[in-house]
Every structure is written in C-alpha cells, then in structure tokens.
Amino acid sequence: MTTFLKHLKLDEAEMPSCERTPPCTPKTPCSPLEIQNNNFCFRKGPDTPVIYQPEGHPRQAVIDGDIWPPIFKPQHVRSAKNMVVEDDDVFIATYPKCGTTWLQHICHQLIRGENYQASEGNEMCVQSPMIERMGAKFLANVAHPRILKTHFSVLNIPKSKKAKYIFCVRNPKDCCTSYFHHNRNFKIYNFADGEWDTFVDLFLSGQLAFGDYFDHLLGWLPLLDQPNVLFLMYEDMVKDLEGTIYKIGTFLGGDAEKLVQDPDRLDTVVQNSGIDAMKKDQKRWFPEAIFYRHKSEFIRKGGSRDWKNYFTREQSDRMDAIFRTRLAGTIAEKWWQEEMAWDIMPISAMAHLDLEDDIESVSRRGSFSYAQPDPLKNFGKKLQNLSLLNFEEGLCSILALHKQMK
C-alpha cells in the first residue's frame, strides 16, 4: 500500500477507478498539489503516471502523490524504493542541480580508475543510473561497486547501514536558477520557452519534479552525522575541488583512498573534474538526441551567485523569507549567508565606513537587511555576513582602517 493508503486505511480493492488525465485545461490551470487534495485518483496510485501540463508550466507526472518527470514509470519508482541494497553500493543523493553529475564523474574516476570512460553510447546515465528512473531490474545488472544516483527524499531512499551515501546541497537560489535551465533544455518537459517568473513560483511552492527543495533538505539533516553519510556543499566543491575530492576518496576507502593519497593521480582527477573539463564532449552525460533541445548544454556554468542575473529583489526576498521559516532552529539556518545575500560589500568599500556610522547608513552600503538602535552592539556579529571576511579578519580590518583614517 502507498503512504496515502496507509493513512486512509483503505485497501486497493476499495479504490474507485479514475481518469488518467487530470482536470487541468489552459483556461483552468491547476497544480499537482491542488489535484492531490481534490482528486482521489492521485491517492490511489494508478499503474500509469498521471501526465499533466497547465499552460505555461513544465510537463510533469504524478506517481503515488509525488511529482516526477513525465517519462518516469510507477513500477520503476516503486521497485527502486524497495531495491536490494548491496554493501558496496554508493548512493549520490541530491536535490536536482546540486552537483549530482559532478559527483558521479568524480566517484567513477576514484572507484573505476583507468577503467572508467563515459562517452556517447556509454553515457553516465547508463553507467551510474538514477534508481527511480530505471527501476530495480535494471539496477541488478549494473557493475559493482554500483555508483547510483538518486533524487529520492530520505523517506523513500533505500537504506543500509553498510552502503555509502554522499549527500550534497546547494543554496536554493542557484539551485532554482540551474533547474530552470534544466527544464528548458530537456525536451521531456516541453518548457523550451518557459518563463522565469512562473518557474520561480513553482520552485518556491514545491510544485516541480522531485518535489520540494526544503522538504528534501530537511529530511537529510538528522542523518548528516551518520558514519556512512558524507555531507558536502556544492559551494565548497567550487572553492576547493582538490580538498573535496580528497575527502570523497577517504570516505569511500579502498582503492579510492589509495588514489587520493598519490599526488599525481589526485591531480589528474582534479584536472578532469573542473567545470571547463566537464563542459567538453557533453554527449557523455546523456544521449543528446533523446533528451536535449538542439545544441543545449547539460553542464552550463557551475559556480555561485548566477541567480543574481535572474531573481528580482521581490523574488529574492521571498526566497529568503521561506528559507528562514523552513530552516529556523536547524543547523542549516545560517548556511549560505553570503551566497544568498542580495548585496555584498567588497573589502574596498569598508575603507569608507566609520564605526560611529548609524545602522541605517551601514545598511545602505552593505548587505544588512534590518536596523538596530545601536550600530556598535552587534557590529562584530554582522561582519560575518561580509564578503571574503570572517569575524576576526573583518573586525581587525575595520579597526585598522579606522585607525589610519583618524
């Protein structure tokens, strides 16, 4: 029985039949969340996915109450949830556009060594399949140790105390921006001319394939200290790729650990794993003719703060408010303060600050979004939000500049 059926305490036989096509029309758009609440067939879990596309939205599917890409099949999603996990399995678990392919590429180099070669006809999506896309039967034939990709939530991911899980996160603004281009580039979504404003609204309300970003993140937080879980941040990979690869190799152990302890071999993996290197020969990631718009790129930019080229101030503030509300009281509530800030103060601008400036003046020049009656009371704390500086470096720099100006 599905989660919905358990909750309703109804048997499969008691379920009424229902139409495959949801009650959405261009004149009467509706979301999958609204459909779930009002249409019983979404709770039943039919054997065929319910495909829907309100006007202006990406084409998507609903399977057992969850939102998926339209090519996903119920039997594959369900079998993946219940797949047999082997002790040597490595799961790369992310929300979409949070470094998944990057990590697959790195892990294959560390584990397969010289035997790894992704190319057209032997794409990464075949060598390292997404479990919910391909299903348990396909996974049973993947060479061991299996490097498996998944966007499953913690609730649905197959679990083992011996298998290894690499969980990577990315700030939601850059994640949303990259996911927008992903939906426009993949033919399956029929969103080639989709609008940014529509997509942001869908992202913030959790109405995109693979579900809600914040639900996914929150589900993983209690597991980050488990010995078989490696937690990574996309932004840290960008800043220190070599250090990240070394950490991954140490976590994987065996031949991977031996490889990263060899400086020359480690450097080779680092050089092959940079964004520029990965942008070459992009047919090795997915079969281009099947999934992509003409001449589109799967590996696009990487990096951080590309979101600033797309978000309006209102959209940024709305994302910030949801972030604060959803992650309040968790270890994630202070993450990405610099990456998500609308304004970032460069070091050069600090030379013009006087410690007696009132907080409104500071706010206008920097990235502070709220006022305090005493500008000095929390000044040191606020320095942590400034670009390129931590607390001690920032305070020392300000004091030194202030002394020189006197």
Active-site residue numbers?
A: 151
Q: How many CB atoms lie within 10 A of CB 250?
A: 13
90-94 and 66-68 strand pairing: unpaired
- What sign for the dihedral angle of Cα 223, 224, 229, 231? positive
Confirm if 358 and 372 have CB atoms less than 8 A apart: no
> Is the Cβ–Cβ distance between 287 and 127 less than 8 Å?
no
The set of residues, in sequence order, having a beta carbon less than 8 Å from that of 129 and lying 6+ positions away, is 138, 139, 142, 148, 149
* Closest among 153, 26, 45 to 96, alpha carbons compared: 153
* Spatial separation of the C-alpha atoms in residues 87 and 19, rounded to whole Å: 42
Interior angle at CA 4, CA 60 and CA 325, nearest 5: 70
Distance (Å, rounded) from C-alpha 61 to C-alpha 50? 5
Question: Residue 215 in contact with residue 153, Cβ under 8 Å?
Answer: yes
In sequence order, the β-bridge partners of residue 90 are 147, 164
- In the numeric block, the tokens 């488990």 are attached to 226
Is 244 exposed, middle or buried (CB count within 10 Å of its CB: 0-12, 13-18, 19+)?
buried
**Length of the chain, in residues:** 406
Q: Are the CB atoms for 131 and 80 separated by under 8 Å?
A: yes
| Virtual torsion, Cα 113, 141, 253, 93, nearest 10 deg | 100
Query: Based on the number of CB atoms within 10 Å of its own CB, is 263 exposed (0-12), middle (13-18) or buried (19 or more)?
Result: exposed
